[in-house]
Structure 1
């Protein structure tokens, strides 16, 4: 099952939570929760790439295998408006509130054998969940109420699509949304209790058609392009697209993602980002290969400056006796043109433990960006990869494993702080040494004695 880091990290700073939630509301994102008493429907989720938003295609890929292998009874809790902020403000699903408004939901997630937590799903994709379930199961939804559910006789072998609509979170006071959410959680608890009494295996989903009204109001009050800006220039919106994977179907073996992938030939920049990532990508990865010790990600572009171009990432994995563990390394990056010309860049700095991914702010052959790629011979090409993440081994889903960052332990700021502290300590030590070296005089002039006469020479 292709999955990624879909479990949200517990939020520690409330102000950051509200900022992220407001941004999510502006982008039209809602959370989606899934749980089941059947194990191994969704594997353990690894860390995702930055700014991930689940679209309709990826949501279908995530839910499809679980619907095929999981229980045939599907329960969909659908709320008109729901946002991530509702959980962070009133519950402990994403936070640590003792007076949570979601005790039944939290208990169901904690006891479930399989869990799926998607913090940010496009509203259009979330609204299409019901249609997706109808298509996968070939059934029409059955609208149920908590009181009438006990009258149904569900069968584990016969599929059933049960739809429970939850009230909308509304109200102007601070307590009204929480009370409504608590009431919705009680409905969820009653429905789950009825299924538990009948001992019927099930898979449950909870989502909404749009973000909550309170969060939308907060987003409208926020200034456009929130956050600090330099010279009134708005911060760019993070790129949001899935990584390049190989193979395209089945279990992925190689993952590659970058915010910007560009080449420099002479003074002309060539942006390969739209050709590599996103819905309109035209890159061909069919020539890639993978085995336990060597993997190659081959990106073929049909038209780059009027000719074809192939970029090949050569990755190896081997065991180091000193650390007694396997490490993977991007041995080199090769660019090959249509006329047989090629450029090879050594990338020995790109290395990480075998079960980690590798990530860096810049991977480039240009000195202004660190020159992590070293050409083995004079090359007409310059390479720039911004916010790049790469994993060639031990891929467990559509998302990267824990990232091994390229930043060193001692950053320039750390060295500046240490040097400043060292200079201050040296000045303090010199001053203390001077103070400790002071001695009182053992002889003094006698003011009552005969003054010393110094003859003057004319």
Structure 2
């Protein structure tokens, strides 16, 4: 995090070596910066990021001369109050948009340099400008290096535009997920000891601190509890997802909003007012505020279960995903694609209303045609919940994967070739008559 030239923030003590910044501590850093610094915030949000990206590829935190982050490095050096946090738990960084939105009391605007050049900002009114940046997974070193270098060029273009408009700003560069897995931090309970990082004050010498350390490891691993709705003392609906997002089409462009930080994570308890469940119907209502310009916003999952005579068993279906905002309701139908046995939960790697849609608008006139929803690594159960854990999951993945289809097609081609070869061999016949050696010989007259 850094500010524009000529703007300084109160000095902040850096975290001790090996300390992982949690959501509450990160929120205090952001609150201090926005209370005294510019309230025009530039959020450069990368899909994945780790401190090793900068040390490996010669970034702002390494000693390599061949840096791929010249713009970022120059901005940090020019700022009078830069802040570098090497270790931040990913639920905390994932919740940055929600925290900034609450502190600035404004909705995020997803931008690119071309759009920013046409926008006129006001230094007196807060603005949250989000620039999404990709990060390849499983690619070679050069492709990742080139991609990070391209992200740095985007940062340079944005900062250049801000300088031309003479608008002071606070810039933040972070990621939604870690790009590299951290070192295992297992704790040995015997003797209350275990390994601790060098220069870490105090270490972990009692079980209370051991539990705290395990909690941090859990945060780093990206594990959090599902959304749980109870009717009385019994849990009747469970929902979990790695990512929840909604988008709206405005002026020919899609504006996205990530609902994950407001739904899941440590210390996050979404409001479920309006939810209900019984033996035949279940309704989970997630209440949000300030989503894509709508102060009141609801994401609703409507489910039902009934007995089907053909299969002689009960099934539950996700009848619809509803968006309620400012007195308007947009409804996506999911009953044809999202279903599972009533005693199971439903799980799918991706459930969305675009690309390969499992959710479709109810009609051509439904407001849902102006919206799109996307759920990543999605799991839901609305009936027969036992305790606070999902039942056996009915996965949406088909039996015939692309690899299986390729194997079947190759095998079929080989069978066809073999069949054709056998057919050709069977068409070969031996001669049924031979020349008589005792008969007259064949004579061929010769002409001169």
- TM-score of the pair, normalised by structure 2: 0.49
For CA contacts below 8 A with separation 6 or more, give which structure has more relative contact order.
1
